[in-house]
Amino acid sequence: MLMQRSLMLRLGLGLTVTALVHAVVGPVWGQDFKAILANPERPQNERALDSARKPEEILRFYGVKAGDRVADIMAGRGYYTAILSQVVGEKGVVYSANETIRKEFAARFQNPPFANVKLVEGKMDALALPADSSLDFVFIHLNYHDLAPETRTAMNGRIFAALKPGGAYGIVDHAAKDGSGNEVNRTLHRIDKAMVVKEVTGAGFVLVKEGEMLRNPGDPRTESVFVDRGKSDRFVLRFEKLK
Are 123 and 98 within 8 A, CB to CB? Answer: no
**CB contact burial 25-58 (16+ within 10 A = b; e otherwise):** eebbbbeebeebbebeebeeebeeeeeebbbbeb
Roughly what angle, to the nearest 10 degrees, separates helices 149-162 and 193-202?
50
Per-residue pLDDT, 26: 52
The 8-class DSSP code of residue 122 comes to S
- Residues 90, 34: Cα–Cα separation, whole Å: 18
- Distance from the Cα of residue 93 to its chain's centroid: 13
Q: What Å distances lie between residue 13 and 2, 4, 21, 22, 196, CA to CA?
A: 16, 14, 12, 14, 58
Tens digits of residue pLDDT in 155-184: 999 999 999 999 999 999 999 999 999 999
Per-residue pLDDT, 27: 63
- Enumerate helices (H) and strands (E) in the chain, giving the number of each: 9, 7
- Looking at the chain, the whole-number percentage of residues with pLDDT higher than 90 is 86
Are 159 and 124 within 8 A, CB to CB? Answer: no
Residue 7 has pLDDT above 70, yes or no: no
Are 241 and 160 within 8 A, CB to CB? Answer: yes
Rounded to an integer, the average pLDDT of 97-113 is 96
Closest-CA residue to 83 (of 122, 119, 117)? 117
Are 73 and 140 within 8 A, CB to CB? Answer: yes
Residue 16 has pLDDT above 50, yes or no: no
Are 140 and 98 within 8 A, CB to CB? Answer: no
Closest-CA residue to 84 (of 133, 117, 127)? 117
Residue 29 binned pLDDT confidence (cut-offs 50, 70, 90): low
Residue 32 binned pLDDT confidence (cut-offs 50, 70, 90): confident
171: Cβ contacts below 8 Å, ≥ 6 apart: 139, 140, 144, 196, 200, 235, 236, 237, 239
Rounded to an integer, the average pLDDT of 125-153 is 97
**Position with higher pLDDT, 157 vs 10:** 157
Tens digits of residue pLDDT in 38-73: 999 999 999 999 999 999 999 999 999 999 999 999
Average pLDDT, whole number, for the chain?
90
Residue 201 has pLDDT above 70, yes or no: yes
Residue 236 has pLDDT above 90, yes or no: yes
**Position with higher pLDDT, 235 vs 22:** 235
Element (H, E) at 216: none
